[in-house]
Chains A and B, each alone.
Chain A
Amino acid sequence: MSEHHKENFITKYVFTQDHKMIAKQFLITGMFMAVVGMLMSAIFRVQLANPGETSILYNLLPGAWLNDSGGLNPDKYLALVTMHGTILVFWVLTAGLSGTFANFLIPLQIGARDMASGFLNMLSYWFFFLATVVLLSSLFVETGPASGGWTIYPPLSALPQAIPGSGTGMTLWLISITLFVVGSLLGGLNYIVTILNLRTIGMTMQRLPLTVWALLITAILGVLSFPVLLSCGLLLIFDRSFGTSFYLSDIIINGEVLHNEGGSPILFEHLFWFLGHPEVYIILLPALGIVSEVIAVNSRKPIFGYKAMVGALLLIAFLSFIVWGHHMFMTGMNPFLGSVFTFTTLLIAIPSAVKVFNYLATLWRGNIRFTPAMLFAIGTVSAFITGGLTGIILGDSALDINVHDTYFVVGHFHIVMGLSAIYGMFAGVYHWFPKMYGRMMNKNLGYLHFWGTFICAYGVFFPMHFLGLAGLPRRYYSNSAFPMFDGLSDINELITFFALAGAIFQVFFLFNFFYSIFKGTKATQNPWKSNTLEWTTPVERIHGNWPGELPVVTRWAYDYSKPGADEDFILQTEPLKEGEIEH
């Protein structure tokens, strides 16, 4: 890898095999999709506050199906909700988060020149890119994009007669997700192989930074669960296009009696959630990894209970495979199964609680430096507490009866999964930006971005719990059909206000990001005074990462403020002093 052949624009920026550049490609694509997804949510939030009013934002959206006739009708509303979910779950918080930080951090933090296979890594991005193109193209087809919710339950998603979005839009959605899964499998396999085989001398598993641990476990989850989504989608393609009946049975739609018999939509739900639940942790774990690193660095303290943190990650990952049924308590499955899934689900609260306590213990008696990254890392901890607790309600099948599919769920998962993960992603971007671009992001804009986002996000998602407890179902185009919800319009207006305000604060981030790439102040080699290996590479970011020999690791990643040391950090490459004990 050390041969320095001349690179042209195409091999450097487009079909690059350098993990750092691929990471940035994932990041920028993810950010673009985040903006698209956020604008969609702004449009449907305006609808929920002022039903029937066509917003200015709505007119800005492209797409043939949008412009046909007057305003946001129920079909389009459902399409926007579906695309918002799909984009945020898969494009932003899976590919945008894992894709960026797994690619960027794994080789740099384990002391490798690049990924095990640069070529597969490149393919992984380009499959993702193709998936993005196909997904976005579905916005432009006449019947609109997929509209059956991001969980695409058949028969709704299988029958174009049931909803227009289940026509070409759904076909494109399925093709897109298939490409997406291929990309994420190529990436995931690469991450696992790289971490297991390419660690530099001295980088034992017990010395890995928690970011790498989290990314490793995430990749394993992905490799085990995404193929199930793929098969789940393939069977749906068969039902839609080739007349099979895996998921369909006894259906009359628009007066037409379908021939399908013997299939079950519940089978789809089982397959979908077998991916779907681990997917929640595929989203969350990388954020928790990033947060562990950022909090330790900026508290100037070792992360508290490193082994417990790794153990908690492993336990959460293991449990995530045996809890999928809690999404299906109300499907009519055997109540005994419901009991089993309640039991396993509530167990997840234990390792989650341990993680929260360990974060608090890390902050305790620290010397906290509030970089923008640190603010967002704390945001994750706060969101993880707030959102995690309501999981105890939803995971309990008896209580789920009355909050299932209401706004209580929307509030819960947007806080615990959405906010925790997106804050983690912001923390990662602010923290590693100097390593990505050799420049600093503006601190004060970062502060502004954090406080605006933190306040608005709670303003959006916390009130949703009350909507849910009032019985309001999710995915309603309008709440005016039921007099019992008339009293909730004030809450909806408040939520929309915060949602739009929160969206505006993201402009500060986008501006800061692109401005700093070109004009930010120059970064030094180790601006946060961190211990980990990425900060021993030159600011110039060369292909192969280290100009000379690979670094040799002699200690763990968390020797901050160690008694007896000259400074409050010790690089992982610094040999142990005589008589010094490793943590």
Chain B
Amino acid sequence: MTNILIVVVVILLVATLVQILRVSELLSEIKNKDVNEVTDKDNNTQGILFLIVGFGFLIFVIWQMVTWNHLLLPPASSVHGTQIDFLMKISMGLILVVFFVLSPILFYFLYKYRGKKSNKAYFFSHNNKLEVVWTVIPTILLTVLIIFGLKTWDKAMNVEVTESTTIIEVYGQQFNWTARYSGLDNNLGKANFKLVKGRNTLGVDMLDSNAADDKMAREVHLVIDQPVLLKFRSQDVIHSAFLPHFRVQMNCVPGMTTQFGFTPNKTTAQMKESEGEDFEYILLCNKICGASHYNMQMKFIVETQEEYDVWLASQESLETKLLTQK
């Protein structure tokens, strides 16, 4: 019934529009005027509209920046993330300046040079000096941004793995995450998808001597100021491990291992103090992976060494989990 009503309303609206148009066209025929010719009055109205709506848009942008600022991600909770945030501030500042210079120029020109039948435009087809200037300025600005960007990228991606780096595997599958700690030897045991069976959900090769002390977990605990190297694998389709608060993202690709190293520098408890009691570090999936893509998550907790040691000790090793409890 609703559908029929909608159809009827649409038909009536269209019919009304047709009639209005016919009337306006007939009227203009009587007045011997072309209804579709752009008059000076039109130019005036449209020019003023551009000024009003154009600047309205700029105000809307500023309003959004003010009103929604508190919704944006808090400052990074990792060492390299702080550098990324700095680069972001510089880049964002630069593009906002360019935006708030070029857009007003555009809208102002439209108003200022709105046409009149009696006016004539200025014939101005090129000016080499001007063109060189506005090629060189963006080139200089971009050179700075490129150099700055590449340095930040290089620092973020090429992390040195030392003795003190904790190695943790993050394993994605439709639609959950599992973590594996490398244990006392800080070496992950080898894994192969063909070995996935029963409780060995990650396909760890238990014959590998590095595997016995590995520990599986459903949440990831990290120690503040302690470098960590996440190694990513996927069981089925491409997932993307996204830790927005740490400025960390890396795809998990079946058939290969990817990695991302970083150093968290704020504990969950500290973040709860500044961001509210509900705050948690969270790992999301950021590559379309199927029906529950929107609900594929794992908690990350950053804590002190003591808290971490207690938690890790409470986790059972793969040896206990897979080999002894038959």
Q: Is B161 an interface residue (CB 8 A)?
A: no
For chain B residues 61-101, which have a beta carbon within 8 Å of chain A?
61, 64, 68, 70-73, 81, 83-84, 87-88, 91-92, 94-95, 98-99
Q: Is B166 an interface residue (CB 8 A)?
A: no
Q: Which residues of B contact A335 (CB under 8 A)?
A: 153-154, 157-158
Q: Name the distance in Å between B76's Cβ and chain A's nearest Cβ.
A: 8
Contact B84 A265 (CB under 8 A): no
Among the interface residues B94, B102, B110, B121, which one has the most CB atoms of the partner chain A within 10 A? B121
A390-B95, A401-B248, A443-B36 are contacts. A305–B126 as well, Cβ < 8 Å?
yes
Contact A396 B87 (CB under 8 A): yes
Q: Name the distance in Å between A11's Cβ and chain B's nearest Cβ.
A: 32
In whole angstroms, what is the CA distance A395 to B139 when docked?
A: 15
Q: Which residues of A contact B139 (CB under 8 A)?
A: 350
Contact A405 B240 (CB under 8 A): yes
Q: Is B42 an interface residue (CB 8 A)?
A: yes
**Contact with A481, one of B106, B109, B297 (Cβ below 8 angstroms):** B297
**Contact with A568, one of B37, B83, B121 (Cβ below 8 angstroms):** B121
Contact B91 A393 (CB under 8 A): yes
Q: Is A497 an interface residue (CB 8 A)?
A: no
Interface size, B (range): 35 or more
A335-B157, A396-B149 are contacts. A299–B236 as well, Cβ < 8 Å?
no
In whole angstroms, what is the CA distance A266 to B98 when docked?
A: 36
A257-B193, A338-B157, A375-B46 are contacts. A386–B103 as well, Cβ < 8 Å?
yes
In whole angstroms, what is the CA distance A350 to B37 when docked?
A: 38
In whole angstroms, what is the CA distance A266 to B36 when docked?
A: 54
In whole angstroms, what is the CA distance A146 to B306 when docked?
A: 50
Contact A332 B259 (CB under 8 A): yes
Q: Which residues of B contact A466 (CB under 8 A)?
A: 64, 68, 71-72
Contact B71 A470 (CB under 8 A): yes
In whole angstroms, what is the CA distance A364 to B112 when docked?
A: 9
Contact B149 A264 (CB under 8 A): no
Q: Name the distance in Å between A344's Cβ and chain B's nearest Cβ.
A: 10
In whole angstroms, what is the CA distance A442 to B21 when docked?
A: 8
Contact A156 B289 (CB under 8 A): yes
Contact A482 B297 (CB under 8 A): yes
Q: Which residues of B contact A475 (CB under 8 A)?
A: 288, 293-294
Contact A339 B236 (CB under 8 A): no
Q: Is A202 an interface residue (CB 8 A)?
A: no
A252-B235, A305-B131 are contacts. A476–B253 as well, Cβ < 8 Å?
no
Stretch at the interface among B179-187, B207-215, B278-286, B312-320: B278-286
Q: Which residues of A contact B116 (CB under 8 A)?
A: 367
Q: Which residues of B contact A515 (CB under 8 A)?
A: 17-18, 21
Residue-wise interface mask of B (128-152) relative to A, using a CB-CB cutoff of 8 A (1 in contact, 0 not): 0011001100110010011001101
Q: Name the distance in Å between B284's Cβ and chain A's nearest Cβ.
A: 6
In whole angstroms, what is the CA distance A262 to B255 when docked?
A: 7
A360-B106, A471-B73 are contacts. A369–B291 as well, Cβ < 8 Å?
no
A-B contact count (CB 8 A): 369
For chain B residues 163-177, which have a beta carbon within 8 Å of chain A?
173-174
For chain A residues 351-377, which have a beta carbon within 8 Å of chain B?
353-354, 356-358, 360-361, 363-371, 375
In whole angstroms, what is the CA distance A53 to B40 when docked?
A: 49
- Chain B, residue nearest A59 (CB): B3
In whole angstroms, what is the CA distance A39 to B289 when docked?
A: 24
Contact B288 A398 (CB under 8 A): no
**Contact with A361, one of B114, B124, B251 (Cβ below 8 angstroms):** B124
Contact A339 B153 (CB under 8 A): yes
For chain A residues 140-181, which have a beta carbon within 8 Å of chain B?
148-149, 153-156, 159, 162-163
Contact A364 B153 (CB under 8 A): no
In whole angstroms, what is the CA distance A386 to B47 when docked?
A: 20
Among the interface residues B36, B64, B92, B105, which one has the most CB atoms of the partner chain A within 10 A? B36
Residue-wise interface mask of B (35-70) relative to A, using a CB-CB cutoff of 8 A (1 in contact, 0 not): 111100011001101100110010011001000101
Q: Is A493 an interface residue (CB 8 A)?
A: no
Q: Is A249 an interface residue (CB 8 A)?
A: yes
Contact B121 A385 (CB under 8 A): no
- Chain A, residue nearest B135 (CB): A354
Contact B121 A299 (CB under 8 A): yes
Q: Which residues of B contact A365 (CB under 8 A)?
A: 113, 121-122, 124
Contact A331 B35 (CB under 8 A): no
Q: Is B194 an interface residue (CB 8 A)?
A: yes
Q: Is A56 an interface residue (CB 8 A)?
A: yes
**Contact with B282, one of A59, A73, A397, A482 (Cβ below 8 angstroms):** A482
A257-B193, A342-B153, A393-B88 are contacts. A250–B114 as well, Cβ < 8 Å?
no
Q: Which residues of A contact B37 (CB under 8 A)?
A: 443
In whole angstroms, what is the CA distance A367 to B117 when docked?
A: 8
Q: Name the distance in Å between B62's Cβ and chain A's nearest Cβ.
A: 11
For chain A residues 498-557, which have a beta carbon within 8 Å of chain B?
511, 515, 519, 521
Contact B36 A440 (CB under 8 A): yes
Q: Is B120 an interface residue (CB 8 A)?
A: yes
Stretch at the interface among A191-199, A217-225, A284-292, A451-459: A451-459
**Contact with B238, one of A155, A301, A353, A401 (Cβ below 8 angstroms):** A155
- Chain A, residue nearest B246 (CB): A402
A343-B146, A368-B114, A385-B102 are contacts. A156–B135 as well, Cβ < 8 Å?
no
Q: Is B178 an interface residue (CB 8 A)?
A: no
**Contact with B237, one of A156, A378, A386, A441 (Cβ below 8 angstroms):** A156
Q: Which residues of A contact B17 (CB under 8 A)?
A: 511, 515
Q: Name the distance in Å between A239's Cβ and chain B's nearest Cβ.
A: 13
A335-B154, A369-B38, A443-B42 are contacts. A382–B251 as well, Cβ < 8 Å?
no
Contact A401 B84 (CB under 8 A): yes
Contact A367 B102 (CB under 8 A): no
Contact A470 B109 (CB under 8 A): no
- Chain A, residue nearest B253 (CB): A265
Q: Is A558 an interface residue (CB 8 A)?
A: yes
- Chain A, residue nearest B107 (CB): A382
Stretch at the interface among A17-25, A207-215, A483-491: A483-491
Q: Is A347 an interface residue (CB 8 A)?
A: yes
Q: Is B123 an interface residue (CB 8 A)?
A: yes
Q: List 16 A-B contacts (CB under 8 A).
A: A252-B235, A300-B120, A301-B122, A308-B131, A354-B138, A368-B110, A368-B115, A370-B114, A397-B149, A398-B153, A399-B87, A406-B286, A443-B36, A451-B53, A458-B57, A521-B36
Extra contacts, 4 of them, besides A350-B135, A398-B149, A487-B70 (Cβ < 8 A), are: A303-B125, A335-B154, A398-B150, A471-B242
- Residue numbers of A with Cβ under 8 A of B are 56, 59-60, 73-75, 78, 148-149, 153-156, 159, 162-163, 248-253, 257, 261-266, 299-308, 330-332, 335, 338-339, 342-343, 346-347, 349-350, 353-354, 356-358, 360-361, 363-371, 375, 378, 381-382, 385-386, 389-390, 392-393, 396-399, 401-402, 404-406, 440-445, 447, 451, 454-455, 458-459, 462-463, 466, 469-471, 473, 475-479, 481-484, 487-488, 491, 511, 515, 519, 521, 558, 560-563, 568, 583
Name the 8 nearest CB pairs between A and B, nearest first. Answer: A249-B255, A332-B258, A471-B244, A370-B46, A335-B157, A476-B294, A365-B122, A481-B295
